[in-house]
Structure 1
């Protein structure tokens, strides 16, 4: 396993600033093998043309940083017009991934909890997801669905249905253990069943406020008082031979201290 940092949680910082942070972290002995890049951090380079993206790719390679995933925000469920927009976005993100050597693009599946999705909405959204996946794969990248609360990929039952419904039976997932906590689900139970589909992993932790979700308090990934036992998750992944990236993901200024602590704690973990 390898450690990466998800830049989606640092939208207020430029990619140049993030690279400076990574250099400082590494100088202190922290291991960072890659960056999961938010599309907003890549778009200024994409707007400047293919050469600017290739120069960024060269710089990242010189820094010894892989780009395991390009993370966008697509859902395929809001409306026919939004689905068309999502498909266009996937094509743009695939162009970014191709230039940066990124093997995968992150998507969500659905903008509602799976229990709120009508059969018709599920089917329409699934058809768009499958089409987007064909686009991404045709351009050399895979399209990975993140497990996330309040989406169609929020429970073991919905994930079973999704994985069985995609042609080829080889849809990849980004597994996020913390995203099952809002619905009081056991992430290890989910992981043990869906592991063959796991291509990438997110790692974070909270003191979750089930009455007011966005008042939840971020804590370090391996804080024993947190709601997620990420040590158990890592042990399960290691036992199953997972060799991919584990991406630390914290959001904004409130999450930054927890990210820093997580980076320190990750030095001694099996990833």
Structure 2
């Protein structure tokens, strides 16, 4: 298993991309998941520095596994030209940062909230995006996330069946799939043929899951109480990491941290993950 940090973890920090590269290398990360907001800002403000940054990143054996962005899939008023502009931008950003995966959400409403027309609109747009990204050597990655059409295991599998395109993949967020009512390992087993990436984060108790709602995550003054290290929360990540180690998964997991002191937190998480992964006794799946 390879691990990446997310630049969104540093959204309220005054830190350069080059500093993140050096920190990620020292801490043992294999990559940096680039938030779309940051990718656009880097291209706009530091255009000439991106190439030397990428040279340094690769010299450390690191990569950009994924650019995480957003698009309005359920907006009936969203013209196709706007989605095409977003698609063009993704292709350009992927080229600049030498990645092949673009992560998005499956709309902004839960699977139980949409009607048939909205569902079909989302499926149609996902299929077209998958087709056009595939033609450019890229992959579209859907994240399992509340308040999207991929908010449960069943709805995520339904999307995959109905879009039916090899360029559509899954970013499995273990906490959110648990929030959707599924055992994380059972969900992984069901989604394994489509999983390209994982997100890992944890929370103290179910009543605090709302702290991960986007409006709170983006707010510099939003509450952070309940965001805890992987080993301390309601989802058993020791079990998950041990299972993935046994399964010899060749995928990348990003550590999502939206709380305070991201440098200190991520360093501690990497040390814990190394210890769990190297333990001789692995987790065994019960019958």
Please indicate the TM-score interval, normalised by the length of the shorter structure: 0.7 to 0.9
- Supply the distance in 1 between the matched residues of 2:46 and 2:11 (Cα, whole angstroms): 22
TM superposition score normalised by structure 1: 0.86
1:90 to 82, 87, 92: 87
Say yes or no: does 1:201 pair with 2:228. no
TM-score, structure 2 as length reference: 0.82
Q: Answer yes or no: is 1:233 the counterpart of 2:232.
A: no
Q: 1:57 aligns with which of 54, 57, 60?
A: 54
The answer to whether the Cα contact below 8 Å between 1:5 and 1:248 also exists between their aligned partners in 2 is yes
What are structure 2's unaligned runs of at least 5 residues? 212-222, 279-287
Quote the offset at 1:193 in angstroms. Answer: 0.7
Residue 263 of structure 1 aligns with which residue? Answer: 270
Report the CA distance shift for 1:191/1:24 in structure 2 as closer, same or farther (over 3 A): closer
Change in Cα spacing, 1:238 to 1:264, as seen in structure 2 (3 Å) is closer
Q: 1:19–1:64: structure 2 CA closer, same or farther, 3 Å change rule?
A: farther
Query: CA RMSD, aligned part only?
Result: 2.6
Number of the residue aligned with 1:6:
6
Q: Distance in 2 between matches of 1:14 and 1:87?
A: 33
Match of 2:231 among 219, 222, 226: 222
CA spacing shift, 1:221–1:75, aligned 2, 3 Å: farther
Which sections of structure 1, spanning at least 5 residues, go unmatched? none
Change (3 A) 1:15 1:132: farther
Tell me how many residue pairs correspond in the alignment.
Answer: 266
Aligned match of 1:249? 256
The more displaced of 256-265 and 115-124 is 256-265
Corresponding position of 2:41: 44
Give the conservation status (yes or no) of the 8 Å contact 2:205–2:226: yes
Cα distance change on mapping 1:114 and 1:255 into 2, 3 Å:
farther
Can you list the C-alpha shifts for 1:148-197, whole angstroms capped at 9, x where unaligned?
Answer: 11110011110121111113356210011011243443222211111111
